[in-house]
Amino acid sequence: MILKITIILTLLLHHQIALTKEIEDELIFVQAIWRHGDRAPSKLPYPNDVHNEDKWDNGWGQLTKKGKYQMMELGSWFKKRYINSFVNATYKSKEVYIRSSDIDRTLISAQSFIFGMYSNQKHSGHKLPTQAVPIHAPATGDNDPLLRPDNFECPEYDKKVKNINEHLYDELMGNYSDIIPFLKNHTGFKGDFKLKDIGSICNVKIEMIHNFNQPSWIFSEWPQHHNKTTLDIVCDIKRQLRLSDFQNSELGKLRGGYLLDNWLENARKIIHHPDEEHKKMILYSSHAETILALRSAFNVYPDDITPYATALIMELYKTDNSTYYVKLYLKSHNKPLEELQIPGCEHKCNFDTLTKLYVDVEIDSRKELYRECGLEYCEMTGGVVFDYAD
């Protein structure tokens, strides 16, 4: 009898500890960055492709209807996870801030996301939403190293990535030397046939999503390459090329260190100034390369190109003894939430430990970014610093 009572008390104690632990870990801040939804190719995948710009409702590079729905679904997922339990069901500017690159597909992706996250908005008699959610973006033409780091001139990065990738380029050209004449013959590329041209052919996958017919050579199988199809091969080449651009900490720092510092600084403000008013959620609408750059800076490398409507999420928690930890997640379209393990950190990564891990990776100002990139900096050429700040 005494043994039974002891067991019951022990179980109750463990249950109480679990409940207490759950209560004391308070979610205090969320920031996330997503890749835009499905879009049209930015140009013809190859010169002989018959599916020209007229086949796409809004033209090259624009978000498709499918892409809008993907982003609405991502917004709906955020609604289930955070609305009411963390942020208000009605948009509050003091709670949520949304920043986008100044590209149509990311701006419209942010709008579509908002429709999903705040889907219960009531409408006035004029059929307009009773509230609107602002999306912040830099002026057209401004450089944007925060959300378009791959578009920012960085000679030091170019030099490093060229040195690192030289061997990969030679290896790929050698491995697929038998396919290159076949591709050149069918695609219509003139002059030197480069690896980036081969990677571009993979964009017929976008056409296939929209049921555009493809020529038979796209599906030709290659026995000497494990019976992979032409499409499999060109897409694998594209994958290797894209990932190689962010394959180590040096490249990650030059392309993702500026955004990494932005994320960590956002969290520091909340931790170090708890009595001040801060946003509870900061959201970024961006591109595949931006997420790859940030993941590289975090030293959390993917094995594939970031899919459409995929979000990288950081949650900041506070315990009852005022220690802080973060969790890093990846939410891909139609896939369950995946927790990412930060190298050198525990499951609940202590924030102080986290910042020590990246002290040599963060780039904390445009001036430092210019210096790291080997550029001369002055206030006029630096452009407007358009980064989130309380």
Tell me what pLDDT residue 10 has: 55
Average pLDDT of the segment spanning 217-227? 98
Average pLDDT of the segment spanning 332-345? 95
| Residue 6, in any domain of the structure | no
Tell me what pLDDT residue 265 has: 98
Tell me what pLDDT residue 14 has: 56
Tell me which of 180-184, 187-191, 375-379 is least confident. 375-379
Average pLDDT of the segment spanning 28-54? 98
Average pLDDT of the segment spanning 4-25? 56
| Residue 290, in any domain of the structure | yes
**Residue 226 identity:** H
| Domain C-terminal end among 222, 244, 266 | 244
In this model, does residue 267 exceed pLDDT 60? yes
CATH of the domain at 39: 3.40.50.1240
Question: Which two structure tokens, joined as six digits, stand for 144?
Answer: 């944007």
Residue 145 and residue 168 in one domain: no
Residue 113 and residue 218 in one domain: no
Per residue in 57-114, pLDDT (tens digit) is: 999 999 999 999 999 999 999 999 999 999 999 999 999 999 999 999 999 999 999 9
Residue 233 and residue 266 in one domain: no
Q: Nearest 5°: phi and psi at 192?
A: -65, 130
Q: What percentage of the chain exceeds 70 in pLDDT?
A: 88
Residue pair 292/243 in contact (Cβ under 8 Å)? The answer is: yes
Per residue in 233-254, pLDDT (tens digit) is: 999 999 999 999 999 999 999 9
> Residue 1 — pLDDT band, cuts 50, 70, 90?
low
| Residue 18, in any domain of the structure | no
Per residue in 146-157, pLDDT (tens digit) is: 999 999 999 999
Which residues lie below 8 Å from residue 378, measured CB to CB, with a gap of 6+? none
| Domain C-terminal end among 214, 244, 274 | 244
In this model, does residue 11 exceed pLDDT 70? no
Residue 267 and residue 306 in one domain: yes
In this model, does residue 168 exceed pLDDT 90? yes
Tell me what pLDDT residue 390 has: 42
Tell me what pLDDT residue 4 has: 57
Tell me what pLDDT residue 32 has: 99
**Closest listed residue to residue 97, CA positions, set 32, 17, 11, 40:** 32
Residue 266 and residue 356 in one domain: yes
Residue 356 and residue 328 in one domain: yes
Average pLDDT of the segment spanning 328-349? 95
| Domain C-terminal end among 184, 212, 244 | 244
Residue pair 100/137 in contact (Cβ under 8 Å)? The answer is: yes
Residue 261 and residue 373 in one domain: yes
Tell me what pLDDT residue 383 has: 47
In this model, does residue 9 exceed pLDDT 80? no
| Residue 7, in any domain of the structure | no
Per residue in 194-214, pLDDT (tens digit) is: 999 999 999 999 999 999 999
Give the Cα separation of 191 and 148 in Å (integer): 30
Q: What is the full DSSP assignment across 240-270?
A: HHHHHTT-SHHHHHHHHHHHHHHHHHHHHHH
Residue 194 and residue 97 in one domain: no
Mean pLDDT of the chain: 91
Is 140 strand, coil or helix?
coil
Tell me what pLDDT residue 105 has: 98
| Residue 17, in any domain of the structure | no
Residue pair 146/366 in contact (Cβ under 8 Å)? The answer is: no
Residue 373 and residue 361 in one domain: yes
Domain total in the chain: 2
Give me the domain span that covers residue 178.
155-244
Residue 134 and residue 32 in one domain: yes
Residue 286 and residue 318 in one domain: yes
Residue 221 and residue 260 in one domain: no
Average pLDDT of the segment spanning 15-24? 53
| Residue 5, in any domain of the structure | no
In this model, does residue 7 exceed pLDDT 70? no
The predicted model scores a pTM of 0.89
Question: Which two structure tokens, joined as six digits, stand for 312?
Answer: 């990288």
Tell me what pLDDT residue 214 has: 98
Give the Cα separation of 10 and 224 in Å (integer): 63
